[in-house]
Structure 1
Amino acid sequence: MLASAVLCTACQSASASAHYPASIDACKLAGPSLHDRLAPGTVEVPAGSVKTADAKVVPQDRSTEGNDLTSCKRLFARDLGGGKPDLQDYRVVTIAVVRFTDSGADNAATQARQLMTDALGDHSGVRLATGVGDEAGFSEQWAAVRTGNVVLGLAIADGGTEAALIPPSTVDNVQAVVTDMTNTLQRDYQG
């Protein structure tokens, strides 16, 4: 198992003043570059095409009266040619957004910071881990970032009997997608 922590200073500096008052559509945060960066040689298929395990991007017990938890799942499969997917070789991208809804911006930001530090176990505000796999080729990577009253999480899991045939996501690609999503969040949702 290989894990590395990556700091995102831009995310940290922006997080002090950011506040997101409205609900956030997790599916609208990922930009058009998601496919190019995370799934080279694959095509997107309907999320229900393959029975996959749900990624636990953030602790399940964190969706309470004081926050909104929204998620989005996108599925990619290796292209056998002509856009025909190989459903034995797939990649699942799961995005989760936890928005703390306390009317006091400082209180909401504190709750988001606690989720990052207590539940996700990272005191820098950013955590990125990679290289978890098994003999079947299954691998999973995830990242989480906090900005203001929001914690944004991303999990990427490769699975299927031929999972090793999908070129693996790199640390740089995962971090770049999280940065893109954070920029979209700040541009489209910040109050």
Structure 2
Amino acid sequence: MHYPDPVDACKLPGPNAPAQLAPGTVEIPSNSVKTADAKVVPEDRSETDNELTSCKRLFARDLGGGKPNLQDYRLVTIAVVRFTSSDDAEAAAKATQLMTDALGDHSGVRLATGVGDEAGFSEQWAAVRTGNVVLGVTIADGGTEAALIPAATLDNVQAMVTDMMGTLRREYQG
């Protein structure tokens, strides 16, 4: 499976993503709250022959009537690494290497940095590879009242990645 065109990470989540990952929250503009940058793909990833695109979506607890509580938020960060070599086998091999070497080494390690000791901070992440593309998502809760948002589970995150993979295959497969 080969993806020849650039991928818009923000177009991958399906319509059920907010309901699945942020119960009791409303989506807010991504610049509403100053958040730490979540590193879905480690800094030591290969810098050549690939294209990294990312998307940040922000949700806040709904205080009623769609009024968000900006002290209690959930940050969803999506990253897509597309290896651009014209040799399909080489591109797929590099994507596999990223999944096994870089992301495998980081499993269980918090990739979101700079969040600090905010109350109730939790984070879940998952990554998957198809052909020459690696897709990763991290979901982090932050703010002074973060414990009030029900924590995302790994099942939620994996289901979202599966949905995004379906969108990727439908919209971008060459």
- TM-score of the pair, normalised by structure 1: 0.83
Alignment partner, residue 41 of structure 1: 24
Structure 1 residues 89 and 160: alpha-carbon distance in aligned structure 2, compared to 1, 3 A threshold? same
Q: CA deviation at 1:93?
A: 0.2
In the alignment, structure 1 residue 161 sits paired with structure 2 residue 144 = yes
The match for 2:83 among 100, 112, 128 is: 100
Q: Deviations over 1:85-113 (max 9, x none)?
A: 00000000000000000100000000000
Residue in structure 2 matched with residue 184 of structure 1 by the alignment: 167
Q: Per the alignment, do residues 72 and 104 of structure 1 end up closer, same or farther by CA in structure 2, a change over 3 Å counting?
A: same
Shift of 1:63: 6.2
Residue type at the aligned position of 1:175: Q
| AA aligned opposite 1:83 | G
Q: Secondary structure at the match of 2:127?
A: strand
The answer to whether the aligner puts 1:137 opposite 2:137 as a matched pair is no
Counterpart for residue 87 of structure 1? 70
* Root-mean-square deviation over aligned CA pairs: 2.0
Q: 1:168 is matched by which residue type in structure 2?
A: A
Residue 59 (structure 1) shift:
1.7
Give percent identity, aligned residues only. 75
- For structure 1, the 5+ residue unaligned runs are 1-17
TM (norm. structure 2) is 0.91
Aligned mates of 1:36, 1:64 — CA distance in 2:
35
Given the alignment, which residue of 154, 160, 164 partners 1:171? Answer: 154
Is the aligned partner of 1:146 residue 2:129? yes
C-alpha distance after superposition, 1:139-187 (max 9, x if no partner): 1110000111000000000000000000111222111100000011011
4+ aligned runs moved over 2 Å, structure 1: 60-65, 127-130, 132-135
1:128 to partner: Cα distance? 7.7
* Cα distance change of structure 1 residues 63 and 29 upon mapping to structure 2, 3 Å threshold: farther
Match of 2:74, SS state, is strand
Residue 135 of structure 1 and its aligned partner are, at CA, apart by 7.2
Alignment of 1:25 onto 2:8: yes
Counterpart of 2:31 in 1: which secondary structure?
A: helix
Indicate the residue corresponding to 1:112 in structure 2.
Answer: 95
Cα distance change of structure 1 residues 129 and 64 upon mapping to structure 2, 3 Å threshold: closer
